[in-house]
Amino acid sequence: MSEPVLRKGSVRGPEPGDAPLPREAEAGARPLVSVVLFCSQREVKPLEVFEDLHAWLASSGLDHQIVIALDGDRRSLYERFRERIAGLDRIEVVILNSRQGQLATIRAGMAVAAGRYLVTYPAYPQVQPESIPTVLEMLQKGADYVVGYRGRRRDSIFNRLASRLFNRFVRNATGLRFRDIACGMHGVQRGAMVRIPNYGDNQVFLPILAAREGMKVREIEVVQNPDEPRLRVFSPAVYLRRALSLVTLAFLVRFTQKPLRPFGALGVAIFLVGMVLSVILVYQRLFGNQPLADRPMLLLALLLVTAGIQVVILGLLGELLIYLHFRDQATYRVDEETGEDAGPDGPPSS
């Protein structure tokens, strides 16, 4: 049996032009699926989760590879993993050189994965490995990205309520409907992963960005692990950071090509409020004989009018930058092209 491969250092995610596969995959030994076991938080029982995953994959008959991705502050786990994976085939370990977050850890693991299909698997008891074939089946049917959702959840009411509120916030912010986007089991085609832009520090951004790129994103029910803690509570800073990141992502998803719309709407609203206040003040001065010199509302009205104009100008500047720098960039995404003249160069000239 071969020794597991250890890759240390900062590993970036796959990008266009990168070598898509390690050497063994290029030699024709590409497995069907690579399962990326990611450790980026204070996971509970990561070694037990790995053993359950490996035991199920070994007994399932799936042609597979396991990639263990460790964030920089979890490198101490490698010594414990090394004893468990000694002598096992097709296991790679990736250790980042510093703490870089969940999404960077996942991308680092996918960058060295050799499988035709990639499945993420959290290193804490959340889902059962028996759900992997379900995700694979959906990918083989043509989905570019698959999001698992825990259909019959057994965790606390607080966690279910928090998940429901978070999914609703995602739907309101991005217009995309997910039932359990925070589930750690996702599946993606190898070629699709290369086209997903780099943004954010959490896995929940991947399906949103994939949908933004026009990919086929599907949801599939997965089995929840009965050992998942009933109550998982994060610090308020974590919830706030995710909410702010989602607001930023929503802006990028909806208004990247049309920045004047949000800035224009906000600027016009501010300008109109300032104008209404100005009209009221002028009316009171002309017909109510009330002086304006000592009224703070006059300064507020002038401030709002000026601020509204400036916000609209920001939107116009954004439109100008997009026109100057991205006017030749294709803003459409083709799903399928048929016909004799179909191709990247278009129909031949006569």
**pLDDT for res 285:** 85
**pLDDT for res 143:** 93
**pLDDT for res 25:** 42
**pLDDT for res 266:** 93
**pLDDT for res 9:** 46
Token pair 């997009």 is at which residue?
Answer: 322
Task: Count CB-CB contacts under 10 A for residue 255.
Answer: 15
What are 18-69's pLDDT values in tens digits?
444 444 444 457 899 999 999 987 777 889 999 999 999 999 989 999 999 9
Task: Give the ranges where 113-222 is alpha helix by DSSP (H).
Answer: 132-140, 157-174, 190-195, 205-212
From CA 137, how far away is CA 143, in angstroms rounded? 9
* pTM to 2 decimal places: 0.72
> From 3.40.50.720, 2.40.50.100, 3.90.550.10, 3.40.50.10800, which CATH number describes the 5-255 domain?
3.90.550.10
From CA 156, how far away is CA 166, in angstroms rounded? 15
**pLDDT for res 86:** 84
**pLDDT for res 220:** 92
Q: Which residues of the chain have pLDDT under 50?
A: 1-3, 9-27, 346-350
From CA 95, how far away is CA 75, in angstroms rounded? 6
Structure tokens at 309: 């104009």
